[in-house]
Chains A and B, each alone.
Chain A
Amino acid sequence: MHIAIIGNGVSGITAARHIRKGSDHQITVISEEADYFFSRTALLYAYMGHLRPRDLRPYEDWFWEKNRIGLLRARVEAVDFDLKTLLLSGGKTLLYDKLILAAGSQPNKFGWPGQDLDGVHGLYHWQDLEAMERHSAGLERAVIVGGGLIGIEMAEMFHTRHIPVTFLVRETSFWNIVLPAEESAMINRHIAEHGIDLRLETELREIVSDDKGKCRAVITSTGETIECGFVGLTAGVHPNVAFLKNTALEINRGILVDAYLETNLSGVYAIGDCAELRQPPPGRRPIEAVWYAGRRMGETVAQTVCGQPTRYDPGIWFNSAKFFDIEYQVYGDVQVRLPEHCASVYWEHPDGKKSIRLVYERASGRVLGFNLMGIRYRQDVCEQWLRTATPVGQVLEQLGLANFDPEFFPQHEQELVGAYNRQTGNKILLKQKRGLPAVLRFLR
């Protein structure tokens, strides 16, 4: 059996690796973007000089041949689902028995005038990074549009090259559609601390061209003109499905898949950024364009393809990021606007760069989510509390179990417990400090 996988990002490659583990199927992974799998989330480190491009590859180049995973550098122009054939760039074709679509995303463009000018780029593909590099020499200012994870990464990238950055954010505070107000304000301060020209509540109206078709300036929603040699468009992504339109494949925003990640066509699966769950689990979005979801979908679909039909279980929501120097982790459900039946307890370090937030249900007290800034928490421990609906009081007593900061780092669990006690009038005592032995006892 020949399994063709379109896309060599984390979802496609994870699927390939696990199919190899569980079967002897022939596997071909097709990518237009790059010869080898690389960590998309690490693109910024190559630009900043922390890593060489080749360091982004999680596997040495001999790995693929050794594991009989065929890699094909080509663009898939179209798919003939009836004949089970891929039409590739250069006129070649490829027959498959089962097809896994892992084609990823494309950066959003919302019809801004000038959005296709030279010097206007998103940051998703390897080629976007090359474009950033090309435009960096002699660049006097970059304007970044879109207040999310990629936008702030781009700001950090240019900043390390001493290129001034203006950062246009539509919302009233950075990423406040995901981060609660306090955490969002923390990042606003941190962005400014790094000398980034952060413009909140400011949108892009137009990108102005010079006489050679290259961007020269942007005009903002406040009417201001900002001269710049580069515009970063980082207002989110959408599934990369254009090449599949007008086929028998059912597509909404993404490729629609059932609980087994199978599309409406038998033997055709979609995973990662390009997949849209027909029936997402309660509280989850139908498209979750994050590394972790892609990896998990890849593991899941591999089981199904290897003859062990497996439903996609996204698990308990978690995510992480790093905003300049401040790390961020979230476990469970931390909503920006808390529903009436939920409450949250929040502690922030006086230096304004660390915080812990714990969300719980008022009536039952069960803990619902953890939000960490500048502090590391253990995923296993947090998940266990979330999965077993542990009451907030008990979680607070044991909170040290979750602390994953390196040795000698100060522990702030006591402060959070204090904040909770002041807020509720309870008298919870922190009984457990950080340390692996207690964690092992707890998880057993």
Chain B
Amino acid sequence: MDHASLSIATPAPVLTTGKQKAGLVLAGAGLLLVLVTWAAGQAVAPVPTLLAALSLCTAGVALFIREEYLTRPAGIQNNGAWFRSLSARGVWGWLTGVLITGFYVCLYWFPGYLTGLTQLFDPLSRLLRNTAADQWFVYGTLYTAAVLLMGVKFFYKYRHNPYQRWRTVSVMFFQLGFAFLIPGLLLRLQYPELYFTYFWPLSYYQGTPMAHAGYSGSGLGVFFFFFGLAMFFIGAPVLTYFFGKRWYCSWVCGCGGLAETAGDPFRHLSDKRLRAWKIERWMIHGVLVFAVLMTALLWVNVATGRGVLQAYSQFFYKSYSFLVGSAFSGVVGVGFYPLLGSRVWCRFGCPMAAWLGIWQRAKSKFRITVNGGQCISCGNCSTYCEMGIDVRAYAQKGQDVVRASCVGCGICSAVCPRGVLRLEGAEADMAQRTELQRAILFPSVPA
């Protein structure tokens, strides 16, 4: 049992049917239209091309869903997750990783290479926002399309599970409405382009003096600035107290939204080792400290009349922006989905997740309850935990799972073959949430 895959005779059992391949061809053709436009550096007939690309992708995904999920009874559908090249770090996985990473590198640092895509999405931008497209509109549109298309796929994959259905509808709703349509319409109406689902410090710019100054011209902008701060200081602790951090991370957040939909085929690739957990704790809290320091410096700088701190604070801001804002959250966070799993950013880098996690660990009703002694240590919960939590380590002891990183996606509970895990909350035993429940049955039994 020392080889990586069980498959000795059949290293990659072919599980993809003919119709599924047809679906992949359709979606691939749609994707190819976008890629060709990107590579060409200019869009030929943008409206028909974009319509064709979207239709092909939609049709392809629809056909794939039908073949993959609707030809068999509803239930857990992870067959071959570790055999398929795309989802098991095979050639397709690596190619996809390179492609997405390349896109992010262009997006942040070489937007000139995205001219073709900007032209392709220009008509849509004018239709929605009444302004020309830029690379960020291209990004937002592709992002939203991925959440919606792959969200529908996820919805059908877990169609037997109402928790997963509602959660997916929620992330699709917040992405489409609050991260795409509303900011676009605000721009059309000549308001600032505001994203009401991203708060400081995840959206690190929102807490800075620059943001404050920039919004001060508009009533809505001022409201937004203080709304963001209120969500950080009041909304986050209060909502986390009642629901755990899932109220944000797996129901509302756009990063989470992408991870839960487009990232779902890669969730099992997260590292479950104890070592990874140790690194995670240092990194994520380090980023939170970095974000707070950076913001504080900027404000001190303003308060002291832009004096001696000017250079330092700008350096800090630019370093954060480069290292965390672009390289970590985008390039590694999404580009490496097919290699490191779908929640690398959320787990190791997101300062909002760190903040919510502190509250979840310290003061929240939320936990994942373990059902008595029913665990068979199979490992499905740990494997499919996108946050790399070794859920099994808790479940086999009968200990409830209370972890800062848990985003409450509920997949551990869904994939458990023995009904062992339940996401729930209660106030009465908050202080004892982390104690061992079952563990050793003795010596309470008299000899």
Contact = CB atoms under 8 A, between A and B. Distances in A.
Given A50-B81, A56-B1, A435-B424, A39 B13 contact: no
A193 B163 CA distance: 25
Contacts of A406: 161-163, 410, 413-414, 422-423
Contacts of B279: none
A377 B419 CA distance: 8
A236 to B, nearest CB: 19
Contacts of A264: none
B1 A379 contact: no
Interface stretch (B33-41, B69-77, B93-101, B171-179): B69-77
A42 B377 CA distance: 8
A136 B79 contact: no
Contacts of A327: 417-419
Given A55-B379, A437-B428, A35 B1 contact: yes
B366 to A, nearest CB: 10
A160 B10 CA distance: 14
Interface in A130-156: 130, 133-137
Nearest to A47: B6
Interface stretch (B213-221, B333-341, B438-446): B438-446
A292 interface: yes
Interface string A198-233: 000000000000000000000000000000000000
Contacts of A237: none
B9 A136 contact: yes
Nearest to B446: A311
A308 B74 CA distance: 49
A320 B421 CA distance: 14
A60 interface: yes
A408 B414 CA distance: 13
B72 A194 contact: yes
Nearest to B9: A137
Contacts of A318: 372-374
Contacts of B426: 435-437, 439-440
Interface string A386-413: 0000000000000000001111111000
Interface string B53-84: 00000000000000000001111101111111
Given A303-B442, A435-B424, A436-B424, A48 B79 contact: yes
Interface bin, chain B = 35 or more
Interface string A287-324: 00001100110011001000011110101001011101
Nearest to B7: A133
Given A303-B442, A441-B428, A407 B163 contact: yes
Interface string B22-33: 000000000000
B226 interface: no
Contacts of A41: 376-378
A68 interface: no
Contact of A52 (B4, B78, B79, B374): B4
B1 A60 contact: no
B74 to A, nearest CB: 7
B442 A436 contact: no
Nearest to B374: A320
Nearest to B167: A408
B1 A42 contact: no
Nearest to B432: A440
Contact of B377 (A10, A36, A376, A404): A10
Interface in B393-411: 393, 396, 410
Contacts of A435: 424, 426
B273 interface: yes
A60 B272 CA distance: 10
A378 interface: yes
A126 interface: yes
Given A42-B376, A130-B8, A136-B9, A299 B442 contact: yes
A49 interface: yes
A168 B166 CA distance: 41
Contact of A60 (B7, B161, B273): B273
Given A42-B378, A56-B1, A296-B441, A129 B6 contact: yes
Nearest to A320: B418
B211 to A, nearest CB: 36
A440 B428 contact: yes
Nearest to A408: B162
Nearest to B13: A161
A436 B425 contact: yes
A52 B78 CA distance: 12
A364 B372 CA distance: 27
B410 A379 contact: no
A329 B410 contact: no
A320 B419 contact: yes
A21 to B, nearest CB: 8
Given A190-B73, A291-B376, A325-B74, A52 B5 contact: yes
B423 A50 contact: no
A134 B9 CA distance: 5
Nearest to B273: A60
B275 to A, nearest CB: 9
B383 A50 contact: yes
A383 B445 CA distance: 16
Given A35-B2, A60-B273, A292 B373 contact: yes
Contacts of A74: none
Interface in A247-301: 291-292, 295-296, 299-300
Contacts of A440: 426, 428-429
Contacts of B380: 42, 45, 50-51
Contacts of B162: 406, 408-410
B73 A39 contact: no
A56 B442 contact: no
A73 B212 CA distance: 67
Contact of A160 (B7, B15, B163, B419): B15
Contacts of A48: 78-80
Interface string A10-46: 1000000010010000000000001110110110011
A323 B313 CA distance: 61
B160 interface: yes
Contact of B443 (A130, A310, A378): A310
B369 interface: yes
Q: What 6 A-B pairs are tightest by C-beta distance, nearest first? A: A379-B372, A325-B75, A376-B419, A42-B378, A408-B162, A49-B80
Interface of B: 1-10, 13, 15, 72-76, 78-84, 160-163, 165-166, 273-274, 369, 371-374, 376-380, 382-383, 392-393, 396, 410, 413-415, 417-419, 422-429, 440-443, 445, 447
29 contacts: A21-B440, A36-B1, A39-B379, A41-B377, A42-B379, A45-B378, A47-B6, A49-B15, A49-B82, A49-B83, A51-B82, A51-B378, A53-B1, A56-B378, A58-B393, A58-B396, A133-B9, A136-B10, A137-B9, A296-B441, A303-B443, A318-B372, A318-B374, A321-B418, A325-B75, A378-B371, A404-B371, A440-B426, A441-B428
Given A300-B441, A309-B447, 20 more contacts: A47-B6, A50-B82, A50-B380, A51-B380, A52-B6, A126-B1, A162-B15, A292-B374, A303-B443, A308-B443, A310-B443, A318-B374, A320-B419, A325-B160, A376-B419, A376-B422, A377-B419, A406-B414, A408-B165, A440-B426
